[in-house]
C-alpha cells in the first residue's frame, strides 16, 4: 500500500482460490453488483492469486475514463476471444498494435452519418422480415423476443457489413457460421474460468473450439475472396467495401485480408448480442411501463403514420431514442468495461492506490444507477429524463455518467449503426403491433453471457388497426421509392463545382472523417456561382496550413472526433493553436465557420469548430458571420446547413463583397434524364402508341369485348396486317405473388445475362440490373396460364 492511502475494502477470501467462491460463474455481474452493495463503491478481489479492483460510483467511473491516466484492459474473456479474431478492433490491445489504429482510421468514415444513412434500405429489409414473421405467426403464438432480435441483429450486420444473407428468419436450422460463433463465444468464456488442470481434460472442447474458429474464418474469408474476384467489381458501399478500398490516412497502408476477416467477425460478435439485448430490454421496459409505451407508440403514429418508414422519419423521433437511452442506463447490455492504469496511480483524491496493469472493472450496471447523478428514483425506468435537452444537461453536468458504449478512443465504433437499426425496428414494431406479455406474471430474469439479456421473456403480438399480414406486407414493400434514392444526400461533383471563374473567389476548407462536412463544403462550392461567387479552393483543412488566404473569404466546415480534429484537419488545428498568442497571425483573413457535431459527445460538442472560430479571431482574423452549426442527433444536418448557407453565409458575403444573384448559376452534378427503356428494348422499327379511348362493348355475363382507340405517332401509318403488340402491365398482387414464389426481397434487382457472343432476341433488358419489381411488372406476362414446359422448369 502506498504511503498515505487507505486499503481498498476486500471481502475475506479462502486460501489459494481467494474470492473465487464469491462469484457465481453463471451470473458473475450480478455477484459483483451484490458485492458492491455490501462493500461499497470500490473493492478489491483476489481470484486465484490475481487481484482486480471493482468500482461502481459515478465519481470513480468518471476518474477512470481519463485516457491520459488509464486505458482499456483486454480482460481474461477478451483474451480468449482473441484466439478467433486476433487484433480485431474490439479485442486489440489498442494503439500498441498497429492494426488497431489502421482499422480505426479506415473504418471510422464507414460508420459516419452518411454511410449509416445509406445502410437504411438494408436495415429496413431485415426489420421487415422480423415484422412479417411476427405478423404471420399470429397473436396466439408466444414469441421468444431475444432469439428473434438476435436473428435480426445478425442478419442486419451480415447484410450491411458484407452483403451476405444468413436468412435466419427463413430457416429453422441456424446458419453454420452462427452456430460456430455461439459455440466459440461460450467456450471463450469457459476457458477464461478454467481451473489450471492438464489440457488433456479439455481435449474434446478444444477440438470443437478450433473447429468453430475455422468455420467462422472460412465463411468470412469466402465472402471476402468472392468480393475481391467479382467482375465487374461490386458497386456496393458496405463495410467490406470500405475495408477493401480504404487507405489509412496516416500511413497510406491498406488492411490485409487477415485484418479484414478479423474485423468482419468482430462486427458480428460485437454487434449482435448487444443490439439484441438493448431491443429486448426496451420492449420489456415498455411493457412494464404502459404510459411510456403509449407515448412511444403515439410518437411513431404521429411521425410515421401508416405508410412505409423512411430514414428521415426515424431521425425525427425524440421519445423512442429516450426510451433506448434509458434502457441502456437501467440495463446496460455490456454491464462492465475493463480499464487499467498506465502507471501506479491513486484514486479518489489520493485515497486508494492501484498498480499499473492491475485490472480495474467499471461496473456500469451499478454506476448507471448512482443517485448522485440520477436522483432518488435512479432505479426507475423514466425515459423522460433522457429526452434530448435533459440528456444533454445531465451528461454535461456529470461527465461520463452514461457509458453503455464504452470510453474514449476505445468506445463503440458501431454505435450509430446500432442506433439507426434499433430506432427503425422499434418504430416498425410499434407502428404495426400491440404487444403483451405471454405470461403476465413474468418477472425479469437476466441471463449473462458476454452480454446481459432478459431470460425466458416471451410476448404475443397482435396486428393493429385491422391490419392483416398481407396488407402489412404491402405496406412494408411499398417503401422502395421513399427509402431509395430520396434518402440519399446528393454529393456534388468537385470538378464541376470548381469550373466557374466568375465573381469574387472564395476558398472552402473542410475537416471531415466520414464525409458529411466534405459534402457540405462541396455544396457551398456548387452553390457559389448562383450568388455571384466562385470557389478557387475546395480542400481539406490541412491544405490551409501554414498559410490561410488573406485576399478572399475563407469558409470552413468541420467536425470533431472525441474532441480532436478530424484526420485531415490535424495539422491545421495544431498550427493554428500554436499561433494563439500572436494577435496578428491571421490578420486580413475574413472567415466563416460551420460546425458539425453530435450532442452525445456533450463535453466536446462542436469543440474543434468552436476552437477554430475562436482562434482565428484571436489571431486577428475577421469573423464574417457567427459560427453556424448542426447536431447529427437531430437528423436535419443538411437542412440546418442550407438554412445557414442561404440565410446567413451568402447574404453576408454579398453584403461585404457585392456579389449578385445569378439566374441559373447554381451548379449541380445531378441531372435527370427520363427514358423508357422498355420501348428501347423493342426492335428498332417498333414504336409506342397511346390508347386514347377504351370502353366495354359487352355487358356482364357475355365474354368481355372492348372498344380501343389508338393514336399512332404522327409519322407512322397503319396498314391492315401490320402488327400491334400489347405490352404487359401486371397487377401489383401478381407481382408480389411472383416475388414471394421466388423468395425475392422487395428491393431485389435482376440482371438478365445473354449467353456470351449470342445475339439474344428478347424484349428483356440484357446485362443491366433492374428492380425485380419493374421487370415483373412491365417486361413479362404474368397474367397468362403457365405452359407445361414452364411448369416443369418451375417445379
Ligand X SMILES: Cc1cc2nc3c(=O)[nH]c(=O)nc-3n(C[C@H](O)[C@H](O)[C@H](O)COP(=O)(O)O)c2cc1C
Cβ-proximal residues to 441 (8 Å cutoff; 6+ apart), any chain = none
Report in angstroms how near the CB of residue 267 gets to ligand HEM at its nearest.
Answer: 4
Q: Report what 418 binds from ligand HEM, ligand X, none; CB cut-off 5-8 Å by kind.
A: ligand HEM
Residue 600 near residue 633, CB atoms below 8 Å:
yes
335-364: which residues touch ligand HEM (CB under 6 A)?
A: 337
Q: Is 120 in the site for ligand HEM (CB under 6 A)?
A: no
- Residue 29 has φ and ψ, to the nearest 5°, of -65, -40
Which range, of 270-278, 472-480, 573-581, 618-626, touches ligand HEM by CB under 6 A? 270-278
Q: Report what 559 binds from ligand HEM, ligand X, none; CB cut-off 5-8 Å by kind.
A: ligand X
Binds ligand HEM (CB under 6 A): choice among 23, 243, 270, 283: 270
- Per-residue cell: 433: 403491433
Which range, of 25-33, 337-345, 604-612, 755-763, touches ligand X by CB under 6 A? 604-612
Q: Is 512 in the site for ligand X (CB under 6 A)?
A: yes
Q: Pick from 18, 15, 19: which is nearest to 35 by CA?
A: 19
**Residue of minimal CB distance from ligand HEM?**
414
Collapsed DSSP state (helix, strand, coil) of residue 544: helix
Q: What distance in Å separates the CA atoms of residue 272 and residue 587, rounded to the nearest whole number?
A: 53
Q: Pick from 108, 219, 75, 115: which is nearest to 158 by CA?
A: 219
Q: Is 405 in the site for ligand HEM (CB under 6 A)?
A: yes
Which range, of 7-15, 288-296, 318-326, 605-613, touches ligand X by CB under 6 A? 605-613
Identified catalytic residue from 131, 261, 274, 425: 274
Q: Report what 606 binds from ligand X, ligand HEM, none; CB cut-off 5-8 Å by kind.
A: ligand X
Report in angstroms how near the CB of residue 478 gets to ligand HEM at its nearest.
Answer: 28
Q: Is 566 in the site for ligand X (CB under 6 A)?
A: yes
Report in angstroms how near the CB of residue 178 gets to ligand HEM at its nearest.
Answer: 16
Q: Is 333 in the site for ligand HEM (CB under 6 A)?
A: yes
Q: Is 604 in the site for ligand X (CB under 6 A)?
A: yes
CA distances for 85 relative to 82, 185, 270, angstroms: 5, 11, 11
Q: Is 127 in the site for ligand HEM (CB under 6 A)?
A: no
Q: What distance in Å separates the CA atoms of residue 686 and residue 89, rounded to the nearest whole number?
A: 59
Question: Alpha-carbon torsion 370, 371, 372, 373, what sign?
Answer: positive
Q: Which is nearer to ligand HEM, 317 or 612 (CB)?
A: 317
32-91: which residues touch ligand HEM (CB under 6 A)?
A: 72, 89-90
Collapsed DSSP state (helix, strand, coil) of residue 488: coil
Q: Is 404 in the site for ligand HEM (CB under 6 A)?
A: yes
DSSP state of 233: P
Q: What distance in Å separates the CA atoms of residue 129 and residue 168, rounded to the nearest whole number?
A: 10
Which DSSP string do the residues of 151-185 spell out, in sequence order? Answer: HHHHHHHHHHHHS----TTT-SSPPHHHHHHHHHH
- Per-residue cell: 645: 448557407
Q: Pick from 170, 735, 768: which is nearest to 478 by CA?
A: 735
Cβ-proximal residues to 171 (8 Å cutoff; 6+ apart), any chain = none
Contact code string over 620-659 relative to ligand X, x by CB under 6 A: ------------x---------------------------
Report in angstroms how near the CB of residue 362 gets to ligand HEM at its nearest.
Answer: 9
Q: Which is nearer to ligand X, 359 or 519 (CB)?
A: 519
Report in angstroms how near the CB of residue 363 gets to ligand HEM at its nearest.
Answer: 13
DSSP state of 629: E
Collapsed DSSP state (helix, strand, coil) of residue 322: helix
Q: Is 522 in the site for ligand X (CB under 6 A)?
A: no
Residue 771 near residue 778, CB atoms below 8 Å:
no
82-111: which residues touch ligand X (CB under 6 A)?
A: 111
Which range, of 5-13, 413-421, 502-510, 667-675, touches ligand HEM by CB under 6 A? 413-421
Q: Is 276 in the site for ligand HEM (CB under 6 A)?
A: no
- Per-residue cell: 227: 468480393
Q: Pick from 702, 703, 727, 712: which is nearest to 783 by CA?
A: 727
Report in angstroms how near the CB of residue 602 gets to ligand X at its nearest.
Answer: 9
Report in angstroms how near the CB of residue 75 gets to ligand HEM at its nearest.
Answer: 8
- Is-cis flag, bond preceding 794, omega within 30? no
Binds ligand X (CB under 6 A): choice among 58, 86, 175, 607: 607
- β-pairing, 690-696 vs 706-711, is antiparallel
- Is-cis flag, bond preceding 546, omega within 30? yes
Residue 597 near residue 560, CB atoms below 8 Å:
yes
Q: Specify the length of the chain in residues.
A: 795
Identified catalytic residue from 166, 281, 319, 405: 405
What is the Cα gyration radius of the chain? 30
274: annotated active-site residue = yes
CA angle 86, 89, 93 (to 5 degrees): 70
Contact code string over 665-704 relative to ligand X, x by CB under 6 A: ----------------------------------------
Identified catalytic residue from 65, 412, 596, 619: 412
405: annotated active-site residue = yes
Q: What distance in Å separates the CA atoms of residue 297 and residue 305, rounded to the nearest whole number?
A: 11
Q: Pick from 272, 252, 406: which is nearest to 328 by CA?
A: 406
Q: Is 128 in the site for ligand X (CB under 6 A)?
A: no
Q: Which is nearer to ligand X, 210 or 564 (CB)?
A: 564
Q: Report what 516 binds from ligand HEM, ligand X, none; CB cut-off 5-8 Å by kind.
A: ligand X
Residues that bind ligand HEM (CB under 6 A): 72, 89-90, 104, 157, 266-267, 270-271, 274-275, 278, 333-334, 337, 404-406, 410, 412-414, 417-418
Site residues, ligand X (CB under 6 A): 111-113, 512-518, 559-563, 566, 596-598, 601, 604-607, 632
Tell me the catalytic residues.
274, 405, 412
Amino acid at each position: 500500500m502506498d504511503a498515505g492511502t487507505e486499503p481498498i475494502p476486500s471481502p475475506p477470501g479462502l486460501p489459494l482460490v481467494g474470492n473465487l467462491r464469491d462469484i457465481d460463474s453463471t451470473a458473475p455481474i450480478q455477484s459483483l453488483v451484490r458485492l458492491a452493495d455490501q462493500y461499497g463503491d470500490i473493492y478489491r478481489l483476489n481470484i486465484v492469486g490475481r487481484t482486480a479492483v471493482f468500482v461502481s460510483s459515478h465519481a470513480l467511473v468518471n476518474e477512470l475514463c481519463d485516457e491520459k491516466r488509464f486505458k482499456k484492459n483486454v480482460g481474461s474473456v477478451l483474451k480468449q476471444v482473441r484466439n478467433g479474431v486476433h487484433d480485431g478492433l474490439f479485442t486489440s490491445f489498442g494503439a500498441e498494435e498497429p492494426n488497431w489504429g489502421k482499422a480505426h482510421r479506415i473504418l471510422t468514415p464507414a460508420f459516419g452519418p452518411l454511410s449509416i444513412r445509406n445502410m437504411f434500405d438494408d436495415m429496413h429489409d431485415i426489420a421487415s422480415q422480423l415484422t412479417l414473421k411476427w405478423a404471420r405467426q399470429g397473436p396466439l403464438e408466444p414469441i421468444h423476443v431475444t432469439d428473434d432480435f438476435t436473428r435480426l441483429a445478425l442478419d442486419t450486420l451480415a447484410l450491411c457489413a458484407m452483403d451476405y444473407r444468413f436468412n435466419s428468419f427463413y430457416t429453422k436450422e441456424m446458419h453454420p457460421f452462427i452456430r460456430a460463433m455461439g459455440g466459440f463465444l461460450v467456450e471463450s468464456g469457459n476457458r477464461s474460468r478454467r481451473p489450471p488442470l492438464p489440457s488433456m481434460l479439455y481435449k474434446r472442447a478444444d477440438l470443437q473450439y478450433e473447429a468453430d474458429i475455422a468455420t467462422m474464418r472460412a465463411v468470412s474469408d469466402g465472402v471476402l475472396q468472392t468480393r475481391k474476384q467479382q467482375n465487374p467489381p461490386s458497386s456496393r458501399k458496405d463495410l467490406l467495401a470500405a475495408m477493401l478500398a480504404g487507405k489509412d490516412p496516416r500511413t497510406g497502408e491498406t488492411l490485409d485480408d487477415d485484418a479484414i476477416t478479423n474485423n468482419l467477425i468482430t462486427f458480428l460478435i460485437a454487434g449482435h448480442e448487444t443490439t439484441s439485448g438493448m431491443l429486448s430490454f426496451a420492449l420489456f421496459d415498455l411493457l412494464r411501463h404502459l404510459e411510456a409505451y403509449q407515448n412511444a407508440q403515439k410518437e411513431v403514429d404521429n411521425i410515421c403514420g401508416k405508410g412505409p418508414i423512411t430514414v428521415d422519419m426515424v431521425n425525427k423521433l425524440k421519445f423512442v431514442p429516450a426510451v433506448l437511452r434509458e434502457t441502456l442506463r437501467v440495463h446496460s447490455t455490456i454491464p462492465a468495461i475493463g480499464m487499467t492504469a498506465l502507471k501506479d496511480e491513486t484514486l479518489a483524491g489520493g485515497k486508494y492506490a492501484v498498480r499499473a496493469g492491475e485490472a480495474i472493472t467499471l461496473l456500469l450496471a451499478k454506476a448507471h444507477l448512482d443517485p448522485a447523478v440520477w436522483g432518488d428514483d435512479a432505479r426507475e425506468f423514466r425515459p423522460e429524463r433522457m429526452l434530448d435537452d435533459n440528456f444533454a444537461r445531465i451528461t454535461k453536468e456529470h461527465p461520463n455518467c452514461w457509458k453503455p458504449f464504452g470510453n474514449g478512443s476505445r468506445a463503440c465504433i458501431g454505435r450509430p449503426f446500432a442506433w439507426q437499426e434499433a430506432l427503425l425496428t422499434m418504430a416498425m414494431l410499434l407502428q404495426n403491433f400491440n404487444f403483451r406479455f405471454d405470461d403476465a406474471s413474468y418477472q425479469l430474469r437476466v441471463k449473462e453471457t458476454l452480454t446481459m439479456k432478459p431470460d425466458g421473456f416471451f410476448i404475443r403480438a397482435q396486428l393493429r388497426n385491422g391490419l392483416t399480414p398481407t396488407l402489412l406486407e404491402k405496406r412494408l414493400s411499398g417503401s422502395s421509392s421513399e427509402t431509395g434514392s430520396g434518402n440519399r444526400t446528393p454529393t456534388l461533383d468537385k470538378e464541376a463545382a470548381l469550373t466557374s471563374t466568375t465573381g469574387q473567389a472564395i476558398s472552402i476548407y473542410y475537416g471531415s472523417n466520414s464525409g458529411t462536412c466534405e459534402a457540405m463544403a462541396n455544396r457551398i462550392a456548387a452553390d457559389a456561382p448562383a450568388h455571384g461567387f466562385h470557389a478557387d479552393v475546395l480542400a481539406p483543412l490541412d491544405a490551409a496550413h501554414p498559410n490561410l488566404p488573406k485576399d478572399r473569404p475563407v469558409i470552413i466546415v468541420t467536425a470533431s472526433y472525441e474532441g480532436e480534429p478530424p484526420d485531415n484537419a490535424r495539422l491545421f488545428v495544431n498550427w493554428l493553436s500554436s499561433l494563439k498568442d500572436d494577435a496578428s497571425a491571421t490578420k486580413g483573413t475574413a472567415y466563416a465557420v460551420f460546425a458539425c457535431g453530435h450532442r452525445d459527445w456533450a463535453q466536446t460538442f462542436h469543440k474543434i469548430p468552436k476552437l477554430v472560430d475562436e482562434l482565428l479571431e484571436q489571431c486577428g482574423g475577421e469573423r464574417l458571420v457567427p459560427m453556424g452549426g448542426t447536431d447529427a442527433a437531430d437528423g436535419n444536418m443538411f437542412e440546418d446547413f442550407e438554412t445557414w448557407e442561404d440565410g446567413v453565409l451568402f447574404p453576408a458575403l454579398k453584403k461585404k463583397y457585392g456579389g449578385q444573384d445569378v439566374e441559373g448559376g447554381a451548379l449541380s452534378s445531378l441531372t435527370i434524364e427520363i427514358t423508357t427503356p422498355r420501348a428501347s428494348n423493342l426492335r428498332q422499327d417498333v414504336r409506342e402508341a397511346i390508347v386514347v379511348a377504351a370502353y366495354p362493348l359487352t355487358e356482364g355475363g357475355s365474354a368481355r369485348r372492348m372498344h380501343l382507340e389508338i393514336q399512332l405517332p404522327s409519322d407512322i401509318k397503319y396498314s391492315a396486317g401490320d402488327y400491334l403488340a400489347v405490352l404487359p402491365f401486371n397487377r401489383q398482387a401478381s407481382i408480389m405473388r411472383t416475388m414471394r414464389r421466388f423468395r425475392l426481397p422487395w428491393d431485389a434487382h435482376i440482371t438478365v445475362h445473354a449467353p456470351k457472343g449470342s445475339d439474344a432476341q428478347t424484349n428483356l433488358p440484357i446485362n443491366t440490373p433492374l428492380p425485380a419489381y419493374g421487370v415483373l411488372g412491365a417486361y413479362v406476362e404474368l397474367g397468362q396460364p403457365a405452359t407445361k414446359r414452364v411448369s416443369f422448369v418451375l417445379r
